[in-house]
Structure formats: C-alpha cells, structure tokens
Structure 1
Amino acid sequence: MKVDQEHNQQEHESCRTIEIVQSKSNLSTLSIDNLDSNGDEYYTPPLNFSMIDNGIFRSGFPDTVNFSFIKTLGLRSIVYLCPEPYPVHNVEFLKANRIHLFQFGIEGTKEPFVNIPEMTIREALKVVLDVNNHPLLIHCKRGKHRTGCVVGCLRKIQRWCLTSIFDEYQRFAAAKARISDQRFMELFDASGFKDAPTSPCSCSKR
C-alpha cells in the first residue's frame, strides 16, 4: 500500500491518496449475517445511500454489513471526507476489490459558523469529476454535511439552480441542515470547472 501526502499551503488541509493492490487473502466469503433464512444473500445499503449521477454515488460511512451491497456497484474509487484513519476491515475490503481510496480530511463540527475548507472541497471535486475514477462513492460519517457540501458544489458545476441544490441537501440533512453549509454552496465559484459535463437535471441560472 502506497500513501502519497499532499499539503495545500493555503488551507493547511491534506489529501491522502491510498493506492490499494489485490490482497492475497480471500475476503469473498459471505458472512452468515448477510444470508436470509433460505440461505439467499441480501444487500443493505449504507446510511443515506443514493445515486448522484452516472457512476457517482453518495452515502454515510459503510459498515461491514454494507459490503455485499457496495460490491454490486463495481466501484473503482471511494472519496472519504473525514480525517480519521480508515478502519482496518474497510481497508481490507478495498484491497480485495481493487478499490482506490482518496481521503480528504475535513473536520466534522457542530459549530454553525466554522469555515469550510474550500480548497479541500475543490481537490475532492477534481477526483469526483475524473471519469477514470468512476464508479465512485463519496462518503463522510453520516452522509449529510461534508458529503452534502461536496455534492452541492458538484451540482453548481452541473448548473443546477440553488433551489434544487438546497432541496437535495435538505433531503439528506433533514433537521440537521445548516445555514453555513448552504451559504458555502451559494458562494462557491464553479467557473474553474468549465469543462465539467452538465447534469440532465440542470436548470436555468439564477
């Protein structure tokens, strides 16, 4: 496993890219927890799982019970938005399935007026927009705030209007929606991503 640490001097944020190769150990054996009474396998999506666009998904933190479902997505990459180290059992799952991990350490906070690291969000978006990384899953802890900000900025790049961006954000954040997150998305300058494809759901500019 090879780890490349990149430091952004402006925001003092770090992106850790982890290249994962095929593990010799066989992790494909199904857990009995993933079998129903008839012995058939069933699938449990992670918290707040949803498809964003072709080849791009979002969710909360995947647990072992979600691995069988995630395997059906045929992922090439995961964009992880938390600073904490990826759990060992998750790393082993990525190894076994040749999934590349991109980690962007955005601190989680309950404070309403904390600055969101824009440069880190931009670096994450570059990974998300690179089709060579697709299919791809974006996730943080609950799939609400950090993931919501990245997806909201992606929607601005795709030329969604703010009403639709906020509606999508609030659908996942629900009662935990933050004005600071929505303000960040509103002020985000998407002009640096001119070559990014628009979404079929894009709406007229505000």
Structure 2
Amino acid sequence: MARKQETTRVVDGRVVGDHEAGRRRAEEEAEAGEVRFVPPLNFAMVDNGIFRSGFPDSANFTFLKSLALRSVIYLCPEPDPEANNVFLRANGIRLYQFGIEMCKEPFVNIPEETIREAMKILIDVNNHPVLIHCKRGKHRTGCLVGCLRKLQKWCLSSIFDEYQRFAGAKARVSDQRFIELFDISSLKNTPLTFSCSKR
C-alpha cells in the first residue's frame, strides 16, 4: 500500500507543508482583497442548522463565518488549536468538546454516555447553527450523525449508507453496530423542530 507523502513548498524562505502553505495562501488572498470560501474536509449539511466536517483550519474560517454558527461540537480529545479558539471567541461561537479517543478495530470503544450528552447539545435549537467535527469527519462524527438519524426515525440501511458515504473504505462495522444498538429512548420526547423530516 502506497503512503501519501506530504508535499512541501518554500514560502518566504521557509519550508512549509501543504497545511501551512494553504493557510498562508488564504492570508495572502485576503490581503489582496480576494475572498475564498473553502469548506473543511468532508463538509456537508446534515439538516436545517446542522453541519458536519473534518477538522477545520484557518483556510476555512471565512466559509465557517458565512454559516453564522452559534456552536461547534468537537469530538476529539486533543485541545483545539489556539487559532481556532481565537476564531470561535471573535465570532461568539460556543465550543462543546467531547473527547472521544480514536481506536482501531477490533478495540473500538465508543462511550455511549458521551454520545448521549453530545446529542443533547446537537438537538437543542438554541445551539443552532451548529458544526459537528472530529479529525476527518468520518467515524466519531459519523456515529453522532447516525444516532441523530435514528432519532429522526431513518431506517438503518439509510443511516448506514450515509455513514459509509463519508467513511468510505475506512467504514467500521463497530461504528455501525454502535449506531444500531444506541438507545434513543431518553431522547424520544425531545421535539425536533429544526428537522427537515418534520416539515
């Protein structure tokens, strides 16, 4: 299996990776008066006022600002980078961090209570518009969105199709099993006033 090699460039006499070069390019375009709306990796609209993505960086800030977010649900245990914190504070966006450790199969342990707490934040319209993200927007984000779909009474095959569309070749049977077995009974009485499926 071939490994992706990070490409580097020289910018202002410094060697930088793709990520930093992209950030620098976005800053230069902003200085030149060019505005670019660059969505984060795996970005998609989930429902009215609910979005999902991989980890956003400074190249995505203009795009995220256009969403008028009130909240971000961050599903990784690592601290949010300072640039992201500055962006969130400057735009009055609340950060809810649920540190779900990333494990590879067969040792995946998704904490049900953590997902349940994240679901409470997610379905509260006072937090909308909201962005859900993890590192790549695949597994942890996919589990939370899958549990939301279950609450919205989607059939499991449609939930799994959506999960697999984002996870691709990295789809995990354990994530899908978690979604299937997730108990929504404590959330059933919550009105989903935001939902497209309720209109």
Cα contact 2:48–2:196 (8 A) shared by 1 = no
DSSP-derived class of the 2:121 partner: helix
Counterpart among 125, 128, 134 of residue 134 in structure 1 = 128
1:161 aligns with 2:155: yes
Q: 1:1-206, aligned counterparts within 5 Å?
A: 31-34=27-30, 39-194=33-188, 195-197=190-192, 199-201=195-197
Stretches of structure 2 that go unaligned for 5 or more consecutive residues are 1-25
Quote the residue 2:7 is aligned against: none
Higher percent of residues as helix: 2
Q: How big is the shift at 1:201?
A: 4.7
More off after superposition, 39-48 vs 135-144: 39-48
Instruction: For residues 159-186 of structure 1, give each alpha carbon's deviation from its aligned partner in whole angstroms, at most 9, with x where no partner exists.
Output: 0000110000000000000000000001
Cα contact 2:40–2:57 (8 A) shared by 1 = yes
Stretches of structure 1 that go unaligned for 5 or more consecutive residues are 1-29
DSSP-derived class of the 1:57 partner: strand
Q: How big is the shift at 1:112?
A: 2.7
Under a length normalisation based on structure 1, what TM-score does the superposition of the two structures give? 0.79
Runs of 4+ in 1 over 3 A off after TM superposition: 33-36, 198-202
Letter paired with 1:118: E
Q: How big is the shift at 1:34?
A: 4.6
Q: How big is the shift at 1:85?
A: 0.6
Cα contact 1:58–1:139 (8 A) shared by 2 = yes
> How many angstroms apart in 2 are the aligned matches of 1:33 and 1:108?
35
> How many angstroms apart in 1 are the aligned matches of 2:65 and 2:141?
21
CA separation of 1:45/1:35 partners in 2, compared to 1, >3 Å: closer, same or farther? Answer: farther
> How many angstroms apart in 1 are the aligned matches of 2:127 and 2:184?
21
Cα contact 1:78–1:99 (8 A) shared by 2 = yes
Quote the residue 2:9 is aligned against: none
DSSP-derived class of the 1:41 partner: coil
Aligned residues: 171
> How many angstroms apart in 2 are the aligned matches of 1:196 and 1:149?
21
Quote the residue 1:11 is aligned against: none
CA separation of 1:137/1:182 partners in 2, compared to 1, >3 Å: closer, same or farther? Answer: same
Quote the residue 1:9 is aligned against: none
